[in-house]
Amino acid sequence: MRKFLMAAACLAALAACGQTTAPTTETPTTTETPVAAAPTTAAEATAQDTCGASQYRAMIGANIAAATFPADSGIRIIRPDTAVTQDFSAQRLNVITDANGVITSLECY
């Protein structure tokens, strides 16, 4: 009898852990606009122009000394052999130059 009561108590405890609501099969009544997935690579971020690189495209081929950027814009200038952090930030504009200071590309990462 004692084994039976212990088994019944265990089953009652397990039943309490089960699903308490029935799953719904209703379709939502509101229409939601799908949200684009956040970019996970520099190529995706640059393609989506998450950092606003397109507004500076005319500077490609110009010398970095002649370029002006807003002071608080989070723009990073990368020269050859410059050490940069590996953290990914889709909103950060990276201005890549060659050894002569000529802007060669603009990328978001």
Is 13 domain-assigned?
A: no
Mean pLDDT of the chain: 83
Is 6 domain-assigned?
A: no
Question: Mean of the pLDDT values across residues 9-14?
Answer: 68
Is 82 domain-assigned?
A: yes
- CATH value at residue 101: 3.30.10.10
* Apex 61 CA angle, 56 and 65, nearest 5: 80
Is 19 domain-assigned?
A: no
DSSP 44-96: HHHHHTTT-GGGGGGGTTSBGGG----TTS--EEE-TT--------TT-EEEE
Q: Does residue 106 contact residue 94 with C-beta atoms inside 8 Å?
A: yes
Is 1 domain-assigned?
A: no
- Residues 106 and 109: their CA atoms lie apart, in Å, by 10
Task: Give the structural domain span for 60.
Answer: 38-109
- Between 21-25, 48-52, 92-96, 99-103, the lowest mean confidence (pLDDT) is in 21-25
Is 15 domain-assigned?
A: no
pLDDT at res. 21? 61
DSSP 3-state assignment of 100?
coil
What percent of the chain has pLDDT above 90? 50
pLDDT at res. 30? 61
Structural domain tally of the chain?
A: 1
Is 3 domain-assigned?
A: no
Is 73 domain-assigned?
A: yes
pLDDT tens figures, 27-80: 656 666 666 678 888 899 889 999 999 999 999 999 999 998 888 778 999 999
Q: Does residue 93 contact residue 56 with C-beta atoms inside 8 Å?
A: yes
Q: What's the DSSP call for residue 17?
A: T
pLDDT at res. 19? 60
pLDDT at res. 76? 93
pLDDT at res. 72? 77
| Distance from the first to the final alpha carbon of the chain | 69
Tell me if the pTM is above 0.75.
no
